[in-house]
Amino acid sequence: MQKLNLLLMIKRSIFLTYCILVTGSPCSAGGESAREPDFFTLIILPDTQGYADVRHQETQQHWPEIGDQRTCFFMQTEWIKKNRKLLNISMVAHVGDITQTDHDDEWKIADTAFTTIDDHVPYILCSGNHDMGYSLQDRRTSHSRASSFSSFFKPSRFTNNALYDAHFGPEKAVHFREEGKTENYYLYLEEGGMKFLILTLEFKPRDETLAWANKVVEQHPDYRTIVITHAYLSGGKGQRTLADNYPVQGNSGKSIWEKFVNKHKNIFLVLSGHAREDLLTSKGKHGNTVHQVQADYWYWDLPEIKAGSGFLRIMTFQPHKNKIDVQTYSPVTDRFLTRPTSKFSLTYSMQQQAK
């Protein structure tokens, strides 16, 4: 009994330290903030393809000691649901490669995972190369834009959910580029007296998609804008992607910057996955700072990371400090990553109108 009490005391101490370091606010033992939070949190779910891969089980081929990984996906969304009040989670963003081969069995796993938070935390999804046009013959992805994405995550899943209207205000909260398709859409978010527009784009967005995105952002000049697209940075090189060998036609990260992101003074953040960790901060044509942040942990082979290990991103917005703290944490292993590209802070002015 003494040993158990000691363990509980240690756990509580770690919990309180976590609250102060991550949120800047003391927390009660019950998991609630002791005062009205002066921060809010965006959770990033990087590529979950390996967790959903029940067909080819590529993870198990590379790491035979690793078993069924569906639990990793389920534990991520369970953790989000459990900590939504403690961390004041406003939104969850998946940066693509939700599945491995765009198979219904894999989408069912993703559906189960997100059902956990459907009525609790708003979320926005991004399609990756593994979510479309898979060929069983050559085991390559994105031969076409055919996908079951919109069959399992129909637009109505969001438009018919009262949570989005309640969370985003009286205006229609969710807007889709194409009827019946979830690959390109945007949401409104209001936090700390600020209005945000969060826009998700398909893998290698086509020119017509970027034209639509340009129009959307132009029509919302007073909204602070976050862009989500799967493949944007090259992975550890601090550069945007160039040409690639994926069959489907569309724009590279470099072209997305030149044709879209660079043009708008109210875009301040681009989130992506696809190729490990990366971070790039650039100036747009209007002199505005644009932070470009990437995370994908699926195929890493490091002591602390094997096949994803359930790692996700915690982005804590602190308006009173004009700062966004970024941490990388796994609900599966209960560990933080502390590399410079895993734990860092971004400077962003939240004390004045979006420019």
Question: What digits encode the pLDDT tens for the residues 72-81?
Answer: 999 999 999 9
> Please, where are the H alpha helices in 54-193?
58-62, 70-82, 104-115, 149-152, 155-159, 162-168
Does residue 13 sit in the same domain as residue 56? no
Q: How confident is the model at residue 165 (pLDDT cuts 50, 70, 90)?
A: confident
DSSP string, 19-73: IIIIISS-B-TTSSBSS--S-EEEEEE---HHHH--SS-HHHHH-TT----HHHH
Q: How confident is the model at residue 169 (pLDDT cuts 50, 70, 90)?
A: low
In a domain, 352, yes or no: no
Residue 116 pLDDT exceeds 80: yes
Q: What is the CATH number of the domain that holds 51?
A: 3.60.21.10
Using the Cα atoms of residue 276, residue 209, residue 143 and residue 108 in order, give the sign of their dihedral: positive
Residue-level pLDDT at 61? 75
In a domain, 146, yes or no: yes
Cβ contact 247:142 at 8 Å? yes
Q: What digits encode the pLDDT tens for the residues 258-301?
A: 999 999 999 999 999 998 899 999 999 999 999 999 999 987 66
Does residue 41 sit in the same domain as residue 29? no
Does residue 107 sit in the same domain as residue 5? no
In a domain, 18, yes or no: yes
What the block records as the tokens of 355 is 């420019």
CA dist 277 and 59 (Å) reads 19
Does residue 124 sit in the same domain as residue 203? yes
Does residue 222 sit in the same domain as residue 188? yes
Lowest mean pLDDT among 52-61, 128-137, 301-310: 301-310
- Helices 104-115 & 70-82 angle (0-180, nearest 10): 20
Residue-level pLDDT at 56? 81
Cβ contact 37:88 at 8 Å? yes
What domain range includes position 7?
1-36
In a domain, 240, yes or no: yes
Does residue 26 sit in the same domain as residue 61? no
In a domain, 354, yes or no: no
- Report helix, strand or coil for 316: strand
Question: What are the φ/ψ torsions at residue 312 (nearest 5 degrees)?
Answer: -140, 170
Overall average pLDDT of the 333-340 stretch? 94
Does residue 53 sit in the same domain as residue 132? yes
Question: Mean pLDDT of all residues in the chain?
Answer: 86
Does residue 24 sit in the same domain as residue 42? no
CA dist 60 and 156 (Å) reads 36
Length of the chain: 355
Q: What digits encode the pLDDT tens for the residues 177-208?
A: 999 999 999 999 999 899 999 999 999 999 99
CA dist 152 and 52 (Å) reads 14
Cβ contact 123:68 at 8 Å? no
Cβ contact 80:49 at 8 Å? no
Does residue 15 sit in the same domain as residue 114? no
Does residue 61 sit in the same domain as residue 47? yes
Q: What is the pTM of this model?
A: 0.88
- Report helix, strand or coil for 257: helix
In a domain, 339, yes or no: yes
Residue-level pLDDT at 167? 62
Residue 307 pLDDT exceeds 50: yes
Residue-level pLDDT at 166? 63
Does residue 91 sit in the same domain as residue 27? no
In a domain, 355, yes or no: no
In a domain, 302, yes or no: yes
| Beta bridge pairs of residue 345 | 325
CA end-to-end distance (rounded Å), the chain: 58
Does residue 223 sit in the same domain as residue 276? yes
Overall average pLDDT of the 88-99 stretch? 97
CA dist 47 and 110 (Å) reads 11
What domain count does the chain have?
Answer: 2
CA dist 228 and 136 (Å) reads 28
Q: Which of 226, 223, 207 is nearest to 293 (CA)?
A: 226
